[in-house]
């Protein structure tokens, strides 16, 4: 491998990560406060070549990845591993299960949206809806990750106690460390 190509690739990576630091809060703000504007922006740039799109906001899937699974992995890494062993799975399995749980809402809403609109389930129709749902579900995934990492006395203000007869089992498991 050519050393200059390696340096050039490293330079592109550093610039890209630096831009993520700027674009992540901007995309998060837009996803929470002006989601229609974000959806219109996505529709305008969706068919552009890869190098020309996503210059004002993060791409939807990257945005979801940074706020959902990546933040979840960081939280799991910061947790006490002996406390997490209560769930019976090793750390990699817990991360995979949690990431798949976070994938459910954007994929489920995308599929429901395509079915309700009576569009054919195709790569293009489902891909567009999935990308938009990544924009809209990423803040909730991050909030779920953040709340689940809080100490137990603080978390009780955000959800039901396990003794509540209307509690949801998988939420109780996710919030009980």
Q: Which residues does the chain have with pLDDT short of 50? A: 164-177
Angle between helix 123-149 and 91-116 (nearest 10): 130
Question: What pTM, to 2 d.p., does this model score?
Answer: 0.69
Phi, psi for residue 97 in degrees, rounded to 5: -60, -45
Give the sign of the dihedral formed by CA 107, CA 112, CA 117, CA 121.
positive
Domain boundaries along the sequence of the chain: 3-175
Q: In angstroms, what CA-CA distances link 38 with 2, 33, 35, 83, 124?
A: 40, 10, 5, 40, 19
For residue range 130-175, list pLDDT tens digits in order.
988 989 888 888 887 777 766 665 555 555 555 544 444 444 444 4
Token reading at 99: 């990431």
Contact 132, 125 (CB under 8 A): no
């Amino acid at each position: 491998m050519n050393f200059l190509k390696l340096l050039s690739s490293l330079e592109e990576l550093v610039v890209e990560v630096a831009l993520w630091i700027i674009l992540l809060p901007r995309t998060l703000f837009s996803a929470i406060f002006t989601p229609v504007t974000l959806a219109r922006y996505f529709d305008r740039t969706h068919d552009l070549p890869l190098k020309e799109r996503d210059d004002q906001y993060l791409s939807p899937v990257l945005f979801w990845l940074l706020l959902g699974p990546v933040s979840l992995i960081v939280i799991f890494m910061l947790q006490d591993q002996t406390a997490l062993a209560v769930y019976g799975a090793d750390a990699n399995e817990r991360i995979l299960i949690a990431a798949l749980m976070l994938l459910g809402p954007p994929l489920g809403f995308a599929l429901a949206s395509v079915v309700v609109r009576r569009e054919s389930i195709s790569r293009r129709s489902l891909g567009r809806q999935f990308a938009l749902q990544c924009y809209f579900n990423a803040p909730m995934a991050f909030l779920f990750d953040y709340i689940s990492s809080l100490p137990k006395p603080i978390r009780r203000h955000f959800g039901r106690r396990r003794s509540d007869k209307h509690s949801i089992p998988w939420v109780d498991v996710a919030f009980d460390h």
